[in-house]
Amino acid sequence: MRIVAAILATAAAALALTAGADAATIAVSIKSTGFSPGTITVNHGDQVTWKNYDRTDHQVVADDGSFASPILHAGQSYTVTLTRAGTFHYHDALAPRHTGKVTVKGPPPSLTLALSEPIVDYGTQVMLTGTLSTGAANQSIEIDAQPWGGASPVQLVIVKTGAGGTFAYPVTPSLYTTYVARWGNVASGSVLVQVAPKVRLLAGGGGYMRAVVSAPVSLAGRHVYLQRLSSFGQWVNVASLTLGQLSGRLFKPAAYLPKGVSHIRVFLSVNQAGNGLLSAHSGSQTVRRVR
């Protein structure tokens, strides 16, 4: 009994997608004696084209309904893109004794890499995590790092995958640092950690406070801004404070503030922080100037 193409046309959508630019096309001939070759193995995303070289009509139908051609007259062809891994048995609906088999290999392996935090204060640890798509354990994953100003990535560590192909590794970047994971010829996308100097505003005795900046290099001679929160909710610069040899500065806030209560903080601009670092500010403090 003839099977018209409309019956299974919608089922083809599961496997018939636009082929990638690097997909291959494998040809199968339909002859009076059957399919040639009758068994093929293709890669994920490849195309298979059946062409009718017989004088009579034929129709290619997957046994599970995942693809189906229209009725192919002499010289006509049908192409499907295979994007689901597995083994697909098919037959000629107009000559059921003619059968074939397509084995589709899985997609190529891939590697992911992610950050627990994309922006951190200097000295803060970040966790790199990823997954190897094969799910295999005990695989060697190379993690490369390229800090700001580095000419190229360099190997940081080799870690082993655990259950499900997952891996993790803690890092403490000093500057903007780009990371990438590699497994053989397979590389993850790169991830970037941005680093800000750690700025603290510490209360002292006698009305003094200390601004302290922690960074990968000394910031002696550079300056931070003492800022006051205005009535409009904006941070306004009220003084420029030059940092000493230990990247700190002892000062009396009252000398720069009006009478009454003020909310203050210390701010380090990106220009003063230097290459490979973000701007940063301390937490706020509340002070009162009596006179």
Please tell me the predicted confidence (pLDDT) of residue 83: 86
Residue extents of the structural domains in the chain = 5-104, 114-195, 197-289
DSSP string spanning the chain? ----GGGTGGGGGGT--PPPTT--EEEEEEETTEEESSEEEE-TT-EEEEEE-SSS-B-EEETTSS-B--PBPTT-EEEEE--S-EEEEEEETTEEEEEEEEEEPPPPP-B--EES-SEEETT--EEEEEEBTT--SS-EEEEEEEETT-SS-EEEEEEE--GGGEEEEEE--SS-EEEEEEETTEEPPPEEEEEE-EEEEEE-STT-EEEEEE-SS--TT-EEEEEEE-TTS-EEEEEEEE--TTSEEEE-GGGGS-SEEEEEEEEE-HHHH-TT---EE---EEEEE--
- Supply the pLDDT for residue 205: 87
Query: Rounded mean pLDDT of 135-160?
Result: 96
As a whole number, mean pLDDT of residues 62-84 equals 95
Which one is the CATH code of 197-289: 2.60.40, 2.40.10, 3.30.450, 1.10.287? 2.60.40
Q: Is the pLDDT of residue 3 over 60?
A: no
pLDDT band for position 13 (cuts 50, 70, 90): very low
Rounded mean pLDDT, 202-206: 90
The predicted-structure confidence for 224-260, as pLDDT tens digits, reads as follows 999 999 999 999 999 999 999 999 999 999 999 999 9
Residue 10 pLDDT exceeds 50: no
Determine the pLDDT at residue 189: 96
Q: Which CATH architecture has domain 5-104?
A: Sandwich (2.60)
Q: Which CATH class is domain 114-195?
A: mainly beta
pLDDT at 9 over 70: no
